[in-house]
Amino acid sequence: MQSGTTRTGAGSDGLGGRIRSALLTFVLILPAGAWYLVLLVAPLVIITIFSFGVRAKNGGYAPAFVLDNYGAILGDLDKAAPFTTSLSMAIAGTIGCLLVGLPLAYFIATRGGSRKGLFILLLVIPFWTSFLIRTYSWLIVLGPENLGGFVGDVIGDDSFRILGTPLAVLIGLVYGYLPLMVFPLYVTLERMDRTLVEASKDLGASRWATFRQVTLPIALPGLITGSILVFIPMMGEYVIPQILGYGRIYLVGNALVTDFLEARNWPAGSAKAVVLIAVMMFTVTFYTWFVNRGRRGREVSVL
Amino acid sequence: MAQRDLGEYLARISQNKVNRRSFLAASGLVGTSAFLAACSSSGSSGGASAAPAASAAPAASAAPAGDIEDSLFMYNWSEYINPDNIETYKAEFGVNTFQYDIFSNNEELIAKLQGGASGYDIAAPTAEYVPGMVEEGFLAKLDLSRIPNQKYIDPAFLGLDWDPTNEYQLPKDFGTTGILYREKLTGKPVESWRELYDLTLGEFSGKTVFVDSMGDVFVMPLKMLGYSLNSVDKAELEEARKILLDLAPHILSLDSDTYQVKLSSEEAALCLGWTGPLLELRANPDTADTAYSVPTEGSLFWLDTWVMMADAPHPNASYAWLDYIHRPEIQALETEYNGYATPSSEARKLVSQELLDDPAIFPPESVMPLLEGAVDTSGNNQRLDIWAEFKQKIGS
């Protein structure tokens, strides 16, 4: 009945109806579109333009068209170091999130029972506190009087420390972004049809084979989403290396702060930001291609 | 134990006293907010942030020249003026509305002005930022005949590079960059950059913190070598680079925000830093051995200044303030309150001996001639490259 009226309405009104529906679509898309344009596209355009400029005499941006800002990053391997450090930290952090997040999401989704809501709540609660305060509290946990000193005592090395090392930054990254990995994984695993797992076992597959051939492919969309969600902010991370890394781990985020605030050289910073975006786009595209490769073919072969 | 520590951290974070010298810091929050401020105010909407203050102001033109308006809008560092002095000023000059807005670093102030903020009467930038502000046309030329009390300012602070003709700023407070150290751990005073260098490479490897501020870190190698801390000479900077790279692997942390925590936990014994957290450290019996020295080779002195905005809506109230704040007895109260040295030689006579003898507040007479003001060198690429290289080599 309903679909019938809609169709007749659209049909009989002809041109006017089509215009009206186009107008409606436009109005509905407007908020999201404006948001996208003003807050995403416009800043990207601005930093791209800035990246070809020069530093104004008193800092900031002065219009010009030079490639020096890119030349400085790409021409000197030493200056590319923050990018490679960031990339390796972000990849390690994403793997860390995956190693912790997958079992956790799997547990909550399949064994959570009536307490699923509680588990999810527990996962969310830390987010109610400022990110900065949570990061500062790791200073105490990992500090020389606590975990850092304890491990040092156990292995008998007084100079052992966690704070100020890449490990501390890694712990901070995994802790800080874990929920962004767990939620998408949880959603896909929660919807998983448990009978598929039973069927797999009935057909004689081992636990590992079941995981690899049934659970993992089903979880894959969540896994991809989660990985991208944690990877991207990790690439731009600034606060964690500053606090837990004691400023000893120099990432792109830190280089950007130096450019924008200390050197007040907005064009140089903008060029780094553009390169960072390019690196991320390449990495994310490659990653999605890599995990999806041959997937369609395999599905066909299953059929 | 751990809980007490957490309490301390949290108290510190929530207090977030950006009391003057924790600033230049490209610190997380401060840095980010300044950056955001810079971004937002480069757009057309930036002026709006200061606009409410401006719109509340009555039209200045209504008052005949010389009459003191009933409002004053100030843009300043937090907790930088003795509240008693504000109250006295308001009562004496009939200024009912005293607006005190806060910035946490010079970049924030400048970004806001560049975004077109108007409505402020006076502000307190650090001196090296004054020439840029003059160039941008933000500042009013001061009529010194309307500030008779400026005669009390020590001539040492007049005619300096950043304002050779003393027309655009009035010195407000000054202080130094130096060495903070735990005497209990070092066992002896650390009084020179050379000593800091030797100790960091030797006995106290991994126990030295530097503030995360390019201008301040460069002071150490350049002064140790006997050069100007503002040097942009290629060869001199190259020498400085070697020293910094020698030091880098031995440095515990680059930290402008919580170096006092590292000093108080004894994780660090030495720190190239500012005097801001010193009073707090010395007040605590556990860390009362914390000392400060202005290195004998000389160091940087910073000078905060009073400036008047070109479009100040209340020029008469501003002049009244500038003259009032430079009364010797008022200046003395300022120093007692904020713990920074006054540039007024007359006010100095009224400050307690204890403060006068404190090298963290008044640099000793012997190093005064060796102190150098900072010039804005942030546009020098060689310095930036060295700074980035140094940062990458920290702890490696």
- Asked if pLDDT for residue A3 goes beyond 50, the answer is no
Q: What is the pLDDT of residues A205-243, one digit of tens each?
A: 888 888 888 888 888 989 999 999 999 999 999 899 999
Q: Are residues B139 and B224 in the same domain?
A: no
Q: Do B394 and A143 touch (CB under 8 A)?
A: no
Span B50-100, pLDDT tens digits = 333 333 333 333 334 468 899 999 999 888 899 999 999 999 999 999 999
Name the minimum distance, in Å, from the CA of B383 to any CA of chain A. 9
Q: Has residue A17 got a pLDDT over 90?
A: no
Residue A273 and residue A252: Cα distance in Å, rounded? 9
Q: Which of A250, A259, A272 is the best mutation test for B, with the most CBs of B within 10 A?
A: A250
- Arithmetic mean of pLDDT, A12-21: 80
B18 lies in the same domain as B116: yes
Section A157-173 average pLDDT? 90
For residue A4, pLDDT over 90 is answered with no
Q: Are residues B383 and B332 in the same domain?
A: no
**Residue B124 and residue B190 in one domain:** no
Residue A26 pLDDT exceeds 70:
yes
The pLDDT value given to residue A13 = 62
Q: Which domain holds residue B193?
A: 178-298+373-393
Mean pLDDT of B193-210: 95
Residue B280 and residue B227 share a domain: yes
What's the pLDDT tens digit per position in A129-143? Answer: 888 899 999 998 998
- 3-state DSSP of A28-70: HHHHHHHHHHHHHHHHHHHHHHHCCCECCCCCECECCCCCHHH
Torsion of CA A99, A105, A106, A111, to 10 degrees: 140
DSSP string, chain A: -HHHHHHHHHHHHHHHHHHHHHHHHHHHHHHHHHHHIIIIIHHHHHHHHHTTSB--TTSB-B----SHHHHHHHS-HHHHHHHHHHHHHHHHHHHHHHHHHHHHHHHHHHH-GGGHHHHHHHHHGGGGS-HHHHHHHHHHHSSTTTHHHHHHHHHT-TT--STTSHHHHHHHHHHHHHHHHHHHHHHHHHHS-HHHHHHHHHTT--HHHHIIIIIHHHHHHHHHHHHHHHHHHHHT--HHHHHTTTT-S--HHHHHHIIIIIS-BHHHHHHHHHHHHHHHHHHHHHHHHHHHTTHHHHHHHH-
Same domain, B264 and B336: no
**Co-location of B269 and B327 in the same domain:** no
Instruction: Specify whether B26 is located in the same domain as B154.
Output: yes
- What is the model's pLDDT at position B364? 87
Contact B252 A246 (CB under 8 A): yes
Q: Which residue of B has its CA nearest to A249?
A: B392
B chain contacts of residue A60, beta-carbon cutoff 8 Å = 42, 114
Question: Closest by alpha carbon to B13, among B257, B266, B276?
Answer: B257
For residue B378, the chain A residues in CB contact (below 8 A) are 59, 262-265
Residue A32 pLDDT level (bands cut at 50, 70, 90): very high
Whether the per-residue pLDDT at B321 is higher than 70: the answer is yes
**Min distance B210 CA to chain A CA atoms (Å):** 10
Contact B68, B95 (CB under 8 A): yes
Cβ neighbours of B23 in A, within 8 Å: none
First to last CA, chain B: 32
B23 shares a domain with B161: yes
pTM of the predicted protein model = 0.78
| pLDDT (0 to 100) of residue B5 | 52
* Cβ distance of A60 and B28 shorter than 8 Å: no
Q: Is the pLDDT of residue B297 over 60?
A: yes
Sorted by where each begins, the domain ranges of chain A are 78-302
Proportion of chain B above pLDDT 90, given as a percent? 57
CB contact (8 A) between residue B265 and residue A145: yes
Report ipTM (2 d.p.). 0.79
Contact between B384 and A164 using a beta-carbon 8 Å cutoff? no
Determine, yes or no, domain membership for B168. Answer: yes
Tell whether B205 and B159 lie within a shared domain.
Answer: no
Interface touch A257/B31, C-beta < 8 Å: yes
Q: What pLDDT, in 10s, does the model give residues B213-237?
A: 888 999 999 999 999 999 999 999 9
Are residue B290 and residue B318 in the same domain, yes or no? no
Lowest mean pLDDT among A54-63, B173-182, B324-333: A54-63
B74 and B161 housed in the same domain: yes
Q: Provide mean pLDDT across the span A275-302.
A: 77
| Residue B51: per-residue pLDDT | 38
What pLDDT sits at residue B117? 80
* Inside any domain, residue B87: yes
Contact B213, B312 (CB under 8 A): no
Identify the pLDDT of residue B234.
Answer: 94
Q: How many domains does one find in chain B?
A: 2
Name the pLDDT band for B26 (thresholds 50, 70, 90). Answer: very low
How do beta strands B270-273 and B178-182 pair?
antiparallel
Query: Hey, what CATH class is A78-302 in?
Result: mainly alpha
Q: Which whole number is the average pLDDT over A97-102?
A: 95
What is the mean predicted confidence (pLDDT) over A82-94?
93
Residue B1 covered by a domain: no
**B269: domain CATH number?**
3.40.190.10
Contacts of A260 in chain B (CB under 8 A): 35, 38
Chain B residue numbers with beta carbons less than 8 Å from the beta carbon of A137 are 6, 9
pLDDT value of residue A74? 83
Residue B40 lies in a domain: yes
Q: What does the pLDDT look like over A261-278, one tens digit per residue?
A: 888 888 999 999 999 999
